[in-house]
Amino acid sequence: MTSHLKKVELHCHLEGAAPPALTEAQAQKYGIDISGQLRDGAYIWHDFASFLECYDKVSEVYKTEEDYALLTETYLDELAAINTIYSELIVSPDHGKRIGLGADAYIAGVCEGIRRAREKSGIEARLIVTGERHFGPESVIGAAEYAAKAGNPLITGFNLAGEERMGRVADYIRAFDIARDAGLGLTIHAGEVCGAFSVADALDAVRPARIGHGVRAVEDLDLVKRLADLGTVLEVCPGSNIALRVFPDFASHPLRRLKEAGVQVTISSDDPPFFHTSLEREYALAAEAFGFGDAEIDAMTRTAIEAAFVDEETRRALLARL
Ligand SMILES: Nc1ncnc2[nH]cnc12
Ligand SMILES: [Zn+2]
């Protein structure tokens, strides 16, 4: 049982956390046919590419500032109810632009959702702006420029997500330079769909403090040692990895092997309802599928707070709550 444990999440895509019932209601409100993406309360996709398509389509039913406030508040309330004290949400102001809402209104809605949830439960949250590889390097640079110039204290990180098989990390160096110069924390999706080389690429080109997933680093033991030596923190999302068939089952998932090799690991849910999971389930899996005890799970949560993209005062307050 892990329900009593305090929880922290470093890796969850906001639109990827959209509860199917809320998405259904939104689709009805706007008269959008979502039957190709959502049936019987479950999102429909069959591989990584179709998951990304489904994700983008589902995002289209969230259209206004208030829609984003509601989505954010709903997810953070769900997290707070399972003892979560801190959440980093991966957001796409670019999506706001694409749907005609605008990046500022998109972020304003998300921030209002954070404010409402925090007022009720005390949950802390920060935003990681992401660029999406499948929209090309220019759009990723645009996302970095937006994050750098926003001057929004809740935007504290920059990420690269989307179709990992498109381009190499080196194509996105400029975006990460912009984000780094603005003082944002850096993390990159790598070693999820692509092999160990993508993690090495991320380290060579950007050297981020954290890597989203990174689990396929296990295919190269020298790289595992490099991650351990550098202290790079992995945002591991086991349920997502199994749903996307990165590994066939939890028995072959490398979370424990990476931890035992000295890599800093943390636990997150990625896109929970798309992958039939939740942060609550990911913590339960840490105990039941990976055999970690409470103290080991607390240590991973501590690692997450230590690696969080927050100011030192907030970090101290979160550590005190653990
Ligand atoms: N798991 C994932 N990998 C890459 N991009 C994503 N965007 C949303 N979820 C993602
Ligand atoms: Zn992700």
> Which protein residue's CA is at the shortest distance from atom 6 of ligand 1?
162
* Sign of the alpha-carbon dihedral angle for 9, 15, 16, 22: positive
Question: Which residues have their alpha-adjacent CB atom under 5 A from ion ligand 2?
Answer: 270
Is the residue at 171 inside a domain?
yes
Q: Which of 59, 77, 80 is nearest to 68 (CA)?
A: 59
Pair 13, 272: CB distance under 8 Å: no
Is the residue at 48 inside a domain?
yes
Across the beta sheet with 84-91, the strand order is 7-13, 84-91, 124-132, 155-161, 185-190, 210-213, 233-236, 264-267
Per-residue model confidence (pLDDT) at position 72: 98
Is the residue at 2 inside a domain?
no
Q: Is any ligand 1 atom within 6 A of the Cβ of residue 11? A: no
Is the residue at 120 inside a domain?
yes
In degrees and rounded to multiples of 5, residue 103 shows phi and psi of -65, -40
Largest CA-CA distance found in the chain, in angstroms, rounded: 53
Is the residue at 151 inside a domain?
yes
> By residue range, what is the domain housing residue 247?
7-321
- Angle between helical axes of 294-307 and 279-288 (0-180°, round to 10): 130
- Say how many Å lie between the CA of residue 159 and the centre of ligand 1: 11
Helix (H, G, I), strand (E, B) or coil at 189: strand
Q: Is any ligand 1 atom within 6 A of the Cβ of residue 56? A: no
Q: Is any ligand 1 atom within 6 A of the Cβ of residue 270? A: yes
Dist CA 204 CA 5 (whole Å): 36
CATH of the domain at 196: 3.20.20.140
Dist CA 110 CA 105 (whole Å): 9
Is the residue at 286 inside a domain?
yes
Is the residue at 237 inside a domain?
yes
> pLDDT tens string for the chain (322 positions)?
899 999 999 999 999 999 999 999 999 999 999 999 999 999 999 999 999 999 999 999 999 999 999 999 999 999 999 999 999 999 999 999 988 999 999 999 999 999 999 999 999 999 999 999 989 999 999 999 999 999 999 999 999 999 999 989 999 999 999 999 999 999 999 999 999 999 999 999 999 999 999 999 999 999 999 999 999 999 999 999 999 999 999 999 999 999 999 999 999 999 999 999 999 999 999 999 999 999 999 999 999 999 999 999 999 999 999 9
Active site residue 192: yes
Helix (H, G, I), strand (E, B) or coil at 116: helix
Per-residue model confidence (pLDDT) at position 1: 87
| CA of 193, nearest ligand number | 1
Classify 294 in phi/psi space as left (phi over 0), alpha (psi -120 to 50) or beta: alpha
Dist CA 26 CA 22 (whole Å): 6
Q: Give me the helices (H) in 269-311, please.
A: 279-288, 294-307
As for how many domains the chain has, the answer is 1
Q: Give me the helices (H) in 93-211, please.
A: 93-98, 103-121, 137-149, 173-181, 196-205
Is the residue at 1 inside a domain?
no
Model pTM? 0.98
Per-residue model confidence (pLDDT) at position 202: 98
